[in-house]
């Protein structure tokens, strides 16, 4: 696959939330999705020192969560019970009231969904769109009343199993 000659600047795309049964697609709006802490294997490191001087650094656990944030227009806090909104997904209301977590029941009762971002790049010469899929995401939001109203969505993607993150394009 060849790389596009232009930098990663997708002008449109989607952020999708799913629990395997329900799906909510948010059209790419502000373009400010930020993922923090992406690293090889999501491993934490232990530094070994002798009299303050490092002599070894070892990967010790795959436990570093990936944190993410983005903003989107707040169409409403929760839906009219027919068409879901991002508020329904985060707050587990209306259409998403009975949504099951993507974490197995044995893992506890934390409500997590899968979040996927896809940025359109093929219109700019890339051979594929770019994307990140985070499988075990716990979400929360801040609401700001304004014109337009905004949700600042933030979350953590946990490294529950080996398939917790997928990168494309």
Model confidence, pTM? 0.84
Mean pLDDT by 10 residues, the chain (169 residues): 62 88 85 88 91 94 89 85 90 92 82 92 78 95 89 93 85
Q: Which phi-psi region, left, alpha or beta, contains residue 51 (left: φ > 0; alpha: ψ -120 to 50)? A: left
Q: Kindly report the number of other CB atoms within 10 A of residue 94's CB atom.
A: 17
- Helices and strands, counts by H and E, the chain: 1, 10
Q: What is the mean pLDDT of the chain?
A: 87
Mapped onto helix, strand or coil, the DSSP state of residue 9 is: coil
Cα-trace Rg, the chain: 19
- Which phi and psi (to 5°) does residue 67 adopt? -100, 145
CB 111 within 8 A of CB 104: no
Q: What is the pLDDT of residue 6?
A: 61
Give the separation between CA 43 and CA 121, rounded to whole angstroms. 30
CB 134 within 8 A of CB 153: no
Q: Which of 39, 9, 21, 40 has the alpha carbon at shortest distance from 119?
A: 9
């Amino acid at each position: 696959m060849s790389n596009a000659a232009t930098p990663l600047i997708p002008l449109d795309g989607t952020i999708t939330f799913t629990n395997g049964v329900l799906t909510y697609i948010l059209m790419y709006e502000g373009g400010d999705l930020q993922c923090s802490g992406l690293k090889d294997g999501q491993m934490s490191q232990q530094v070994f020192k002798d009299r303050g001087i490092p002599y070894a650094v070892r990967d010790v656990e795959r436990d570093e969560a990936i944190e993410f944030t983005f903003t989107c227009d707040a169409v409403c806090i929760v839906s009219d019970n027919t068409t879901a909104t991002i508020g329904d997904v985060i707050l587990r209301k209306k259409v998403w009231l009975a949504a099951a977590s993507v974490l197995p029941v044995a893992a506890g009762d934390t409500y997590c969904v899968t979040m996927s971002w896809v940025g359109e790049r093929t219109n700019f010469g890339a051979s594929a769109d770019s994307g990140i899929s985070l499988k075990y995401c716990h979400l929360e939001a801040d609401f700001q009343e304004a014109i337009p109203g905004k949700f600042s969505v933030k979350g953590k993607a946990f490294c529950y199993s080996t398939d917790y993150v997928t990168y494309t394009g």
